[in-house]
Structure 1
């Protein structure tokens, strides 16, 4: 067995996701386990090269993890010939320019979603990567959540029979920032800075629906700003110009109807922050981040509507937990390993920039649907 090391330029690790999920829980964790295992038994270690607009912030992260390579000069980082991969976790407004620079430098590119603010830009990134001949991928972490992996197992095993509908509930209360500090950065609520729950979450819902249930054929959405005034990190009130909730109906191939509510203005009365209920002719399931419960048609009760009497049935007791049957690793780390294998040995990686562009397309059409108050068909890209 041989071990080789490749450089990975990481732009945006000063942000929450870039730091926690991508640097610490993915790249550094991969190195701690001895690198990415290839099909021939060899391994690949990842040498992070940290890049950020604030050299002081990047330097502090580098010092905390004993990382020698850091800079505020993206061009200098991309000039390193051993730096094969460029990763981008910046705010969306900064992503396109940096990704194009990396593509022009001949680097394989892996990026957070959404890959761009508009479908036109997202398609341009996919076309530029293809023209330059570089591998490309977009983060689609929710496909690797234990709950959704169990759901995929049920689908592949034919548990549902014919799938009829999907109902998704996502969200939690993000504090306004006055009497309690907000859990999300203020730019999330300013459209001019790339904020908005539609642009943030519809690309997620797109790849979940596309990979588990079928192609998205139409969208009808209502995007709203429930809280027009919030307070930023400096304690200053500001106008929230981006949507903080969206209520959408998607029509999928095969006649499946998906309804998904996304909100940063909802108080959680669910077992997990996101849950998908899938109903089919032979059974139903409710999948969250980690857990998945099922009810087969043979075990389905027969409720009778009677508003004059209190309900005595404990409906949740009629559902069965789906066992793990395997050890589930961090979803971000799993996808990092797959992308490295894609780069080094051309292993399959379907989560490419074209897939990311379809997610941005859905977000764009969702906002258009809301603005025009109508159902909009989704053209194939």
Structure 2
């Protein structure tokens, strides 16, 4: 049995998502479990180097997670042949420059989404990676959530019959920062810094809809800035220049209609922070982050509209839980393991930079639909 050490440049992991999901719950967790086992008995051991701008943060983060390498010099990290993979979880406005530089250095690319601030730039990165002949991937973490895995299981089994419609509700109340600190960074609410819920979340909704139900064909979107001012991390009040809510309808191949509400200004009265309700001719399901429940046609109640009497049904009790039937690991960690195997032994990894560009495309078209107040078609993307 051989241990295959893979150097990984992790740029931007001092941020919330980079620290918690990609470093602590993914790379550090993989190292603690002894690496990624391969079919022949070999093991891939990730060897990260943390890269960023603040030396004190990098050093503390590295020490806390048993990592011996960190640097404020990206160029030096890219010049080190030991580092085979470049990972980027910086803010959106910084990501493309880092990825472009890493491609030029011949590193395999794995990055967060949106992959860039515009579709043109996202496609440019995909073309550069293809022409360089390097392996590349984009984080599409929600596909690995237990609730969505169960939902995909239902779709693949034919449980729904013909799928009619999808209704998605996402979001929660993000505090304004005056009397309680906000749960999200202030740049999320500034368009000039790459903020906005359409740019952030439509990149997710594209791969969720595409992979579960079919290709998105058109979009109608209305964005809103419900909270006009917030207070930043330094206690300063600032104007919100980006949308904090979006109300969209998508047409999906096969005639499926998806209605998707995304909001950082909504108080939650549902089972989870995101719920996906799917209706089909044979049955329906509602999935959250971890759970999924179903109602088959033979178990569907037969209500009659009559507001003059108390409701005789307890609708919420008339659903059955989909069993786990497997052990669910952290979704970010699962995809990291898949990408590491893709790099080392060339196993398939379909979520590349072109797939990431599709998310940027849908964000741009959603913003266009909002601006022009009309339906916009989603053309096929090719390199």
**TM value normalised by structure 2:** 0.99
Secondary structure at the aligned position of 1:254 is classed as: coil
* Equivalence for 1:203: 203
* Equivalence for 1:288: 288
Deviation at 1:214, TM superposition (A): 0.3
* Equivalence for 1:25: 25
The equivalences for 1:252-331 within 5 A come to 252-331=252-331
Aligned residues: 381
Secondary structure at the aligned position of 2:254 is classed as: helix
Secondary structure at the aligned position of 1:222 is classed as: strand
Moved more, 29-38 or 204-213: 29-38
* Equivalence for 2:92: 92
Deviation at 1:55, TM superposition (A): 1.5
Deviation at 1:41, TM superposition (A): 2.3
* Equivalence for 1:162: 162
- Once residues 66 and 358 of structure 1 are traced to their aligned partners in structure 2, the CA distance between those partners, rounded to angstroms, is 37
- Once residues 367 and 111 of structure 1 are traced to their aligned partners in structure 2, the CA distance between those partners, rounded to angstroms, is 23
Secondary structure at the aligned position of 1:298 is classed as: helix
- Once residues 252 and 38 of structure 2 are traced to their aligned partners in structure 1, the CA distance between those partners, rounded to angstroms, is 36
Unaligned runs of at least 5 residues, structure 1:
none
The equivalences for 1:155-234 within 5 A come to 155-234=155-234
* Equivalence for 2:13: 13
- Once residues 38 and 223 of structure 2 are traced to their aligned partners in structure 1, the CA distance between those partners, rounded to angstroms, is 44
- Once residues 41 and 138 of structure 1 are traced to their aligned partners in structure 2, the CA distance between those partners, rounded to angstroms, is 27
- Is 1:241 the counterpart of 2:241? The answer is yes
Deviation at 1:33, TM superposition (A): 1.1
* Equivalence for 2:128: 128
Spell out structure 1 runs of 4+ moving beyond 2 A: none
- Once residues 205 and 291 of structure 2 are traced to their aligned partners in structure 1, the CA distance between those partners, rounded to angstroms, is 18
Unaligned runs of at least 5 residues, structure 2:
none
Deviation at 1:287, TM superposition (A): 0.2
Moved more, 28-37 or 240-249: 28-37
The equivalences for 1:32-51 within 5 A come to 32-51=32-51
* Equivalence for 1:3: 3
- Once residues 118 and 307 of structure 1 are traced to their aligned partners in structure 2, the CA distance between those partners, rounded to angstroms, is 50
**TM value normalised by structure 1:** 0.99
- Once residues 226 and 324 of structure 1 are traced to their aligned partners in structure 2, the CA distance between those partners, rounded to angstroms, is 38
- Once residues 13 and 357 of structure 1 are traced to their aligned partners in structure 2, the CA distance between those partners, rounded to angstroms, is 22
- Once residues 375 and 80 of structure 2 are traced to their aligned partners in structure 1, the CA distance between those partners, rounded to angstroms, is 49
- Once residues 309 and 266 of structure 2 are traced to their aligned partners in structure 1, the CA distance between those partners, rounded to angstroms, is 30
- Can you list the C-alpha shifts for 1:46-84, whole angstroms capped at 9, x where unaligned? 011000011121111112223221111101011111111
- Can you list the C-alpha shifts for 1:116-171, whole angstroms capped at 9, x where unaligned? 11101100010010011110000000000000000011111110011111000000
Coordinate RMSD, CA, aligned: 0.7
Moved more, 355-364 or 303-312: 303-312
* Equivalence for 1:149: 149
* Equivalence for 1:115: 115
Secondary structure at the aligned position of 2:152 is classed as: helix
